[in-house]
Amino acid sequence: PAAAEEVTIPIIVKDTTSFYWQIVLAGARAAGKDLGVNVPELGAQSEADINGQITILENAVAGKPAAVVIAPTEFKALGKPIDEAAKSVPIIGIDSAADSKAFTSFLTTDNVEGGRVAARGLAAAIKAKTGKEAGDVALITALPGVGSLDQRAKGFKEELAKYPELKLVADKVADGQATTGLNITTDLLTANPNLVGVFASNLIMAQGAGQAIAENKVADKVALIGFDNDDKLVGFLKDGTIAALVVQDPYRMGYDGVKTALAASKKEKVEAFVDTGANLITKANMDEAKNAALLNPKVK
Amino acid sequence: MSTVDAASAKASQARRNYSFLFALTLLGLLVLLWVVLAIATPNFMSDKNISNLLRQGSMIAILAVGQTFVIITAGIDLSVGAVVGFTTVIIALLINAGVPVWLSILITLLVGLGIGLFHGFGITKMGLPPFIITLATLTSLRGIGLLITNGSTISIENDDFTAFATKDFLGIPSLFWMVILVAVPAYIFLNHTRWGRYLFAVGSNPESARLSGVRVNAVIYLAYALSSLFAAFVGVLLATRIGIGNATQAEGWELQAIASTVIGGSSLFGAVGSVHGPLIGAFILATINNGANLLNVNSFWQRIITGGLIIVIVYFDQLRRRGR
Amino acid sequence: MSTVDAASAKASQARRNYSFLFALTLLGLLVLLWVVLAIATPNFMSDKNISNLLRQGSMIAILAVGQTFVIITAGIDLSVGAVVGFTTVIIALLINAGVPVWLSILITLLVGLGIGLFHGFGITKMGLPPFIITLATLTSLRGIGLLITNGSTISIENDDFTAFATKDFLGIPSLFWMVILVAVPAYIFLNHTRWGRYLFAVGSNPESARLSGVRVNAVIYLAYALSSLFAAFVGVLLATRIGIGNATQAEGWELQAIASTVIGGSSLFGAVGSVHGPLIGAFILATINNGANLLNVNSFWQRIITGGLIIVIVYFDQLRRRGR
Amino acid sequence: MSATHLATPEAAPLASGDIILELRDLEKRYGPVLALKPASLAFRRGEIHAIVGENGAGKSTLIKLLTGVIPRTSGDIRWNGKSVSLATPQEAIDHGINAVHQEVMLCRHLSVAANIFLGDETVRFGLLQKRDMVRAAQAILDDMGFQLPAAAQLDSLTIGQQQLIATARAAKRGTKFLIFDEPTAYLTRQEAAQLFTLIRRLKAEGVTIVYISHRMEEIFELADRVSVLRDGQMVGTRDIAATDDNELVALMINRTIEQIYHKEQIPFGETLIEARHLSGKGFSDVSLSIRRGEIVGLYGLIGAGRSEFALSLFGRNPKTAGEILWKGKPVSITNERKAIDLGIALAPESRRDQGLNLNLPIGLNLNLPIYERLTKGFVISSGEEARRADKQIRDLSIKTPSRRSLASSMSGGNQQKIVIGKWLNHGADLFIFDEPTVGVDVGTKAEIYRLFAALLKEGAGILLISSYLPEVYELADTLHVFRSGRLVGSNPFHGASHEEVLAEAIGV
Ligand SMILES: Nc1ncnc2c1ncn2[C@@H]1O[C@H](COP(=O)(O)OP(=O)(O)OP(=O)(O)O)[C@@H](O)[C@H]1O
Ligand SMILES: Nc1ncnc2c1ncn2[C@@H]1O[C@H](COP(=O)(O)OP(=O)(O)OP(=O)(O)O)[C@@H](O)[C@H]1O
Ligand SMILES: [Mg+2]
Ligand SMILES: [Mg+2]
């Protein structure tokens, strides 16, 4: 029917239930409108659900689209399926890499780099609060077994090692629940009286950790760095509960992803690799035009 | 005959002592955990941490009490976690829409009630197994919540409301007061009203209950309505605690609630359960997590230990019972 | 008498037709779904998609069959999801350590068997409720798996092994062949061996079974051993499909497996269950997801629809049964 | 106060004799099974109306229809001349119709008092008045002469005791019409006597009693009139004075049985089992032995410890002291399988709790002990399985549509036959029958007794536990008497009178 004529380019994200990926989808949607492309928005229900994403990729390819935009949820696991898919359609990768040479193009934030940015930001914030880059810090990861989160942790630890005075006293992995993040942070504050910094490496954990900082009124002593953003976190950033946010450019990933895919499907020449970057946004620089745009993406 | 008379009298006597003892035992295990932790880490017994602990256990505790009503009727309610998440969204929307807090809470609770009644309908009228109907709502509710919020988080713009969870009263956290607020009526209801007794009767032998003129269907409606109502109430509390409405929150809390209930001595085959049991069960679980965090136990070890302790605790409880 | 005999003959006749009909009904619902989807989207009936569909339903189907054995004994096994995740780690480690594939698979299956026997031990010897012991292993196993892998992912360095899942044989995906490989013996076991009968007897009334000379404990060991064994087998299949070992995989699959089983007509109160039921149940669920993807249903709507369809399907099934 | 518990005052003064309840062409179908063919019957106010019939004749079905437990297929029920629907138990109760059902219908998790008051609890300010209810319940029990503790947990009582609780519950409310479905099945004489006193008192207070039993002497002792059901057909009503048991039996089973208690003297063979100073839960220091060809009877009051004794002979309960010899050799029977492999079979006391897998097919129940034998290679030979099941169904004339129908759909007596049939199917040297004829009709009783004889001829020995004195008295070659867990007397066949045996059991 009608769908047959118009070009279809599905976009497959890691977890449709998270706001970050909703921004990616929003970008893709916008691109679809601008370019007159039909953009099915697909994705697993959790970043840990590898089998789920493979299944969705299989189904998407079965739909005979012009191209597929995908954010591979796990480096190794998605490799073969993507090779397989690439036999019938061009594949555009966004956000994270996968073990495949078959990508036509690739737009990504390097999550390891994101972790490094967070570490630097944390050190700076601690210096701002305590006057020196010294003290105990903690890392809270939302879920185990999630590629991008592991990479952030990796980058964070590597970079932190460059600050001999900063000691990583706790490396906690939660269950994806804000409440758990809140409980863990509260208990960390109880257990480590001279805790000066926390890195909550995704949206939900940052919300929980932020709540704990606010609840215990320690914003002036403990620096919290979050990853990604939404109203809640921006609020925390404004009132100083959160020292800084590491913000990627999901909207652009989505938009350019679809744009590139369309080009690729028309056999046009496309950029093989684009880094969309990870930016550190603090209360100080949050009002700069570029950052302001990043902080309130046009989701709806 | 007098011998038998005496015998059975003794039997019931024994059972009464026993149930008292059992409550004591679980409580004993909880206290034991506390003593161990108090020795292991100085911070554990600090007022601050105790009130943290009380806060952390409260929500599961309330869910577990609601779940107990259902389990006593030999049913199960898998939807409570989803109801919590869903209701955080509802109340967040209402409050941000400027609806007065008391009214928002009332409406949210009514939504919960409605969900429970739907479960009752599915079980009594459509003849669906409780497991299925509540699993179905679990799935659907998360979907609806995500649809409403488009997967994002609604941050609640009302500081009085969000401040509530952090307040204390007489040195006891407000959240724990909410547990008391729920547990006392729940206790009276379960042990001192006819409907409470009917829950047991239906769980024990629905046919016999029916023959005695008990309106079995009404009892089932009641059990699930209460469970969902309590879940909605927890949704409100969660919203005040994390200050957001988000449909994916409280994932897996149904299992924690059921675990607390069973640790608290309820039988999934029905007709056995109490109000104090699930409360103690919930705080045992909360203590394990709180302690593990204070001792900075590796998160992975934490899971292993939790599993192990659940086995140990329920095993000792079993021993007591066999002791009957 | 003769009248009664005639009547009775008809009765049993009816009952036989019925049970046949019921199987047909569920199958009918599945076929109905297929027809609707075939009309709704051209791609559905494409060979490629059908084999996708078969692949996607396979693993839950196998889990569900294992789960059915447990449910027939009036038990429940919440650990299967965790066992799947855990065993992907085991086999990944073994293969990367250069152990021959066949041996790695064997060892992995034995690990699964061991877990099942532990469940049997906990239930029969320690007197723990199945819900608790399997919930505990669910928690602990994920922890152990994460500990072994230090929370990371192990990529399996053996392309023959990882290629298996994508292979076809006689145009049917290898994964679906595995379902057949499991289902046929399972069917014979459940319906044509004494141990199959014993599963039902224990689920119906353990005391009577025991007084009839059935080794009730042995039967329980058997049920949980099979469930975990099947889960370990699924772990192997998942490892071939995603090419990695990761302890957090297959989260929530236990609920999907139980749902498939119950959709397939098993009763959580025991003594009712079949092999074809859970298979059909699993593929109904797989079809719903596959169809939703092809129709590009918003993933939130997808949850809502899944929940709704589960209710509808089980409701119709109930109607049939009442029709008895 | 006692009287108010038993019947509402207004029920008492009414002139007796007029019609209180009338059935017109009442019919019940279970699918194709016609459980009750269109039946018409009128009950007079204040009469004791007995209903007799073979197992599966439709007695319980009739009762369930009258108490709103199951819906009727067609027909009319008139209460005091007005047509009533009796759609729910509550409606029946509101009219004053109560029943003591054949299968004890109570909540075992609740206390005795809670069970007695279930559905009309005493409440003040919305709160249960537990103490008042226990006190009231105790008063009711005492007043009815049942010495049972109202505060006890129900599952601490034996089946018989539970049956009395059910009676108390039914008799307590403003009862105008009270139905007993085989109430004495699990009762001993004393308790039966208590029950009869109660029934007569209720009658005097104007309550109409419907009394179902397989025990003729009870019918003649109690009833004013008796109606007979056969294959769901109402085949006649008689004034008790104008009939005798031969006629009733003839009406029931369409033939006459010359003699119920069938006993042949068979020479005793080797000693099969010997218990020496055996002790265990519920009994202590019991010594007895059973030979091939011998029926050893155990008589005693309910709760005397006979079942527990039997259960530990069968390896279900551990013995705490003493020893067991099997065919002269000491054996340790630590579990049921050991017992079964030695050649011991036990048909337990409670068919619902111990004897049957209710929600499974009859065939599976009958074959459960022998699946090992039915297994050829790896799989069960289904032909053999069917043959074995059908044979028992035929031999014991179990009334069922097919071996595939569920045991739960069987009438009480037919369920009892399955419990026995499973062991005939298996075969053994020593058969332990615990209350084997509970709820079994006269015809079948006679068959079962003849079957005992057959087993003895084949060289088996039988341990017969029964609370029904005539049975053990007439059948046992040696009659042991239990009292509160001890063996207090042993009598050769007819070596003591009923009264003497009874005296031993009660201990006066
Ligand atoms: N739920 C049921 N489904 C199908 N058939 C049933 C059901 N209940 C009873 N029947 C059949 O109805 C007939 C009458 O059963 P009923 O229980 O009334 O017999 P009864 O006279 O009480 O026998 P008994 O003296 O053994 O108790 C029997 O053939 C029985 O198999
Ligand atoms: N379900 C039970 N719970 C607790 N005690 C019981 C139970 N059943 C029996 N008893 C106790 O065990 C002892 C023996 O009971 P048992 O049933 O063996 O007596 P019995 O002689 O077999 O009489 P009957 O079999 O007619 O009830 C009695 O003291 C009785 O109170
Ligand atoms: Mg009957
Ligand atoms: Mg007995």
Residue D12 clears pLDDT 50, i.e. is over it: no
pLDDT digits (tens, 9 = 90+) for D149-199: 999 999 888 777 888 899 999 988 678 999 999 888 878 777 788 889 999
The DSSP output letter for A171 is: E
Residues 6+ apart with CB under 8 A from A134: A126, A165, A166, A196
pLDDT for the residue numbered B239: 94
Contact in structure between A227 and A281 (CB atoms under 8 Å): no
* Nearest one of A138, A107, A110 to A122, comparing CA atoms: A138
Atom from ligand 1 closest to the CA of residue C4: 29
Structure tokens, A76: 């190794």
Question: How many C-beta atoms surround the C-beta of residue C158 within 10 A?
Answer: 17
Mean pLDDT in residue range B281-301: 89
* Nearest one of A293, A204, A287, A281 to A252, comparing CA atoms: A293
Task: Give the pTM.
Answer: 0.87
pLDDT for the residue numbered C8: 43
- D119 residue type, one letter: G
pLDDT for the residue numbered D222: 92
D364 lies within 8 A of chain C by CB: yes
Q: Which helix (H) or strand (E) holds B48?
A: helix B47-72
pLDDT digits (tens, 9 = 90+) for B184-224: 999 999 999 999 999 999 999 998 999 888 999 999 999 99
pLDDT digits (tens, 9 = 90+) for A225-245: 999 888 889 999 999 999 999
pLDDT for the residue numbered D203: 92
B210 lies within 8 A of chain D by CB: yes
B3, D161: Cβ pair inside 8 Å? no
pLDDT for the residue numbered D8: 39
Residues 6+ apart with CB under 8 A from B307: C135, C136, C137, C138, C139, C140, C141, C143
| Alpha-carbon distance B32 to nearest alpha carbon in chain A (angstroms) | 20
Mean pLDDT in residue range B7-25: 53
Max Cα-Cα span within chain A: 67
Atom from ligand 1 closest to the CA of residue D408: 1
B306 lies within 8 A of chain A by CB: no
* CA C124 to chain CA mean position, Å: 23
Give the per-residue SS3 of chain C. Answer: CHHHHHHHHHHHHHHHHHHHHHHHHHHHHHHHHHHHHHHHCCCCCCHHHHHHHHHHHHHHHHHHHHHHHHHHCCCCCCCHHHHHHHHHHHHHHHHHCCCCHHHHHHHHHHHHHHHHHHHHHHHHCCCCCHHHHHHHHHHHHHHHHHHHHCCCCEECCCHHHHHHHHCEECCEEHHHHHHHHHHHHHHHHHHHCHHHHHHHHHHHCHHHHHHCCCCHHHHHHHHHHHHHHHHHHHHHHHHHHHCEECCCCCCCHHHHHHHHHHHCCCCCCCCCCCCHHHHHHHHHHHHHHHHHHHCCCCHHHHHHHHHHHHHHHHHHHHHHHHCC
Distance D148 CA to ligand 2 centre (A): 14
Ligand nearest to the CA of D399: 1
Structure tokens, D26: 């009442």
Residues 6+ apart with CB under 8 A from C19: none
Mean pLDDT in residue range B123-147: 92
Contact in structure between D105 and D162 (CB atoms under 8 Å): no
Question: What is the C-alpha to C-alpha distance for residues C133 and A11, in angstroms, rounded to an integer?
Answer: 42
DSSP reduced 3-state for D220: helix
Question: What is the C-alpha to C-alpha distance for residues D251 and D433, in angstroms, rounded to an integer?
Answer: 29
Residue C282 clears pLDDT 90, i.e. is over it: yes
- Kindly list the distances between the CA atom of residue B55 and the CA atoms of A39, A186, B181, D287, in Å, as whole numbers in the listed order: 45, 11, 14, 64
- Tally of residues, chain B: 324
B59 lies within 8 A of chain A by CB: yes
Q: From atom 18 of ligand 1, which residue's Cα is the shortest distance away?
A: D58
Helix axes C299-322, C253-263, angle to 10 degrees: 30
pLDDT for the residue numbered C319: 76
B257 lies within 8 A of chain D by CB: no
User: Residues 64 to 103 of C: which have CB under 8 A from any A CB?
Assistant: none
B312 lies within 8 A of chain C by CB: no
B238, A176: Cβ pair inside 8 Å? no
Distance D443 CA to ligand 1 centre (A): 17
Residues of C in contact with B262 (CB under 8 A): 129, 131-132
Question: What is the C-alpha to C-alpha distance for residues D61 and D55, in angstroms, rounded to an integer?
Answer: 11
pLDDT digits (tens, 9 = 90+) for B219-276: 999 999 999 999 999 999 999 998 889 998 898 899 899 999 988 888 888 899 999 9
| Alpha-carbon distance D24 to nearest alpha carbon in chain C (angstroms) | 23
Residues of C in contact with D346 (CB under 8 A): 211
C268 lies within 8 A of chain D by CB: no
Question: What is the C-alpha to C-alpha distance for residues D396 and D399, in angstroms, rounded to an integer?
Answer: 9
Q: Which helix (H) or strand (E) holds D356?
A: none
Confidence of residue C312 (pLDDT cuts 50, 70, 90): confident
pLDDT digits (tens, 9 = 90+) for C141-153: 999 999 998 878 8
D303, B7: Cβ pair inside 8 Å? yes
- Complex confidence, ipTM: 0.85
Residue D5 clears pLDDT 50, i.e. is over it: no
pLDDT digits (tens, 9 = 90+) for C1-53: 333 344 444 444 444 555 555 556 788 888 888 999 999 888 888 888 888 88
Taking phi over 0 as left and psi of -120 to 50 as alpha, with beta for the rest, D90 belongs to alpha
Of B142, B143, B314, which is closest to C128 when you measure between CB atoms? Answer: B314
Mean pLDDT in residue range B288-307: 88
Q: Give yes or no for residue D174 CB within 6 A of ligand 1.
A: no
Contact in structure between D50 and D212 (CB atoms under 8 Å): yes
B129, C311: Cβ pair inside 8 Å? no
pLDDT for the residue numbered B318: 75
Confidence of residue D460 (pLDDT cuts 50, 70, 90): very high
pLDDT digits (tens, 9 = 90+) for A68-112: 999 998 888 888 899 989 998 999 999 888 888 889 998 888 889
Q: For D125, how many CA atoms within 13 A lie in the half-sphere containing its CB? A: 1
Residue A299 clears pLDDT 70, i.e. is over it: no
Of C162, C241, C290, which is closest to A51 when you measure between CB atoms? Answer: C241
Mean pLDDT in residue range D339-345: 94
Which residue is closest to D69 within chain B, CA to CA?
B211
pLDDT digits (tens, 9 = 90+) for C110-151: 999 999 999 999 999 998 989 889 999 999 999 999 999 887
pLDDT digits (tens, 9 = 90+) for D379-405: 999 899 999 999 999 988 888 889 999
pLDDT digits (tens, 9 = 90+) for A244-278: 999 988 899 999 999 999 999 998 888 888 888 88
Structure tokens, A185: 């942070």
Residue C85 clears pLDDT 80, i.e. is over it: yes
Distance C96 CA to ligand 3 centre (A): 68
User: Residues 104 to 143 of C: which have CB under 8 A from any B CB?
Assistant: 122, 126-129, 131-133, 135-143
Q: What is the mean pLDDT of chain C?
A: 88
C135, B255: Cβ pair inside 8 Å? yes
Residue D1 clears pLDDT 60, i.e. is over it: no
B310 lies within 8 A of chain D by CB: no
* Nearest one of B3, B271, B18, B268 to D108, comparing CA atoms: B271
Question: What is the C-alpha to C-alpha distance for residues B250 and B247, in angstroms, rounded to an integer?
Answer: 8
Q: Give yes or no for residue D349 CB within 6 A of ligand 2.
A: yes
Q: Give yes or no for residue D307 CB within 6 A of ligand 2.
A: yes
Q: What is the mean pLDDT of chain D?
A: 88
Of C267, C298, C315, which is closest to B128 when you measure between CB atoms? Answer: C315
Contact in structure between A218 and A132 (CB atoms under 8 Å): no
pLDDT for the residue numbered C208: 94
pLDDT for the residue numbered B5: 43
C282 lies within 8 A of chain A by CB: no
Taking phi over 0 as left and psi of -120 to 50 as alpha, with beta for the rest, B244 belongs to beta
pLDDT for the residue numbered D211: 95
Backbone angles phi, psi at D167, to 5 degrees: -60, -50
Contact in structure between D338 and D288 (CB atoms under 8 Å): no
Question: What is the C-alpha to C-alpha distance for residues B141 and B116, in angstroms, rounded to an integer?
Answer: 12
- Kindly list the distances between the CA atom of residue D298 and the CA atoms of A34, B90, C21, in Å, as whole numbers in the listed order: 94, 70, 51
D152, B193: Cβ pair inside 8 Å? no
Residues of C in contact with A50 (CB under 8 A): 242, 244, 246, 249
Contact in structure between A210 and A226 (CB atoms under 8 Å): yes
Residue B107 clears pLDDT 90, i.e. is over it: yes
pLDDT for the residue numbered B23: 58
* Nearest one of B46, B252, D283, C278 to A190, comparing CA atoms: B46
B11, D118: Cβ pair inside 8 Å? no
Report which of residues B72 and D172 the model is more confident about.
B72
First-last CA distance in chain D:
32
pLDDT for the residue numbered B21: 55
Residue D53 clears pLDDT 80, i.e. is over it: yes
Confidence of residue B16 (pLDDT cuts 50, 70, 90): low
Question: How many C-beta atoms surround the C-beta of residue D372 within 10 A?
Answer: 9
pLDDT for the residue numbered B231: 97
Question: What is the C-alpha to C-alpha distance for residues B115 and B232, in angstroms, rounded to an integer?
Answer: 9
User: Residues 140 to 159 of B: which have CB under 8 A from any C CB?
Assistant: 140-144, 146-147, 151
Report which of residues B71 and B157 the model is more confident about.
B71
Structure tokens, D446: 């006679």
Residue D7 clears pLDDT 60, i.e. is over it: no
Structure tokens, B11: 């039997």
Residues 6+ apart with CB under 8 A from A58: A81, A85, C52, C55, C56
| Four-point Cα dihedral A224, A229, A235, A236, nearest 10 | -10
| Four-point Cα dihedral D469, D470, D471, D476, nearest 10 | 80
